[in-house]
Amino acid sequence: MHNFSRLEQTKHMLEWLNDDPYSTIVTMAENVFSQQVSGSKIVEFVVTSEPDWLTGGLPEADNPDKMVLVRAAVAFECAIKIGSPDGQLHELQGVFTLAGVNLNNDRLRSQRLWVDLGGVLEEFGSQGALMARVYFDVDDES
């Protein structure tokens, strides 16, 4: 069972990154773990902290008093249970980070994901790595 209740107050911000954010978070994380062990499935994803957010905008072309969102990143602590194909259950904890850039341009829009196992928000949140991650370069996505 998944629990995203700690993200509920900022769900509207998560929707800047994806229309169905909770499902997308699980799918993206599962893809990361499946790259390590093929066939891995997330059994449980629980958000265990309040989220840290950073955003960036540019002045609107027609109205410089208004801002247009161009980038956003969120980091939060989580506990994840993963089932491997051999029937083992692995319990992991860490920080999940999702960042999006070019949010104002559907053609150039891009997202990047990090899962820092064993990490905490003090290291990977808004006072840590999140600042660099919200400014990731699309060309660096290899």
* Model confidence pLDDT, tens digit, residues 98-141: 999 999 999 999 999 999 999 999 999 999 999 999 987 655 55
pLDDT of residue 136: 76
Is 72 among the domain residues?
yes
Q: What share of the chain is helix, strand, coil (3-state, %, to 5)?
A: 30, 40, 35
Q: How many CB atoms lie within 10 A of CB 3?
A: 14
Please give the angle made by the CA atoms of 122, 126 and 130, to the nearest 5 degrees. Answer: 100
Buried-state track 72-82, b at ≥16 Cβ within 10 A, e below 16: bbbbbbbebeb
Rounded Cα gap, residues 66 and 116, in angstroms = 35
pLDDT of residue 137: 62
Is 142 among the domain residues?
no
Average pLDDT over the chain reads 92
Is 24 among the domain residues?
yes
How many domains in the chain? Answer: 1
pLDDT of residue 138: 58
Q: Print the domain residue range for 110.
A: 5-137
Residue in this structure with the two tokens 């960042």, named with its chain if needed: 99
Where helices occur in 66-141 by DSSP H, the ranges are 121-124, 130-133
Rounded Cα gap, residues 44 and 28, in angstroms = 14
Specify whether the CB–CB gap between 134 and 72 falls below 8 A.
yes
Residue type, 124: F
Strand-pair category, 67-83 with 52-59: antiparallel
Is 114 among the domain residues?
yes
Q: Reply yes or no on whether the pLDDT at 30 is more than 90.
A: yes
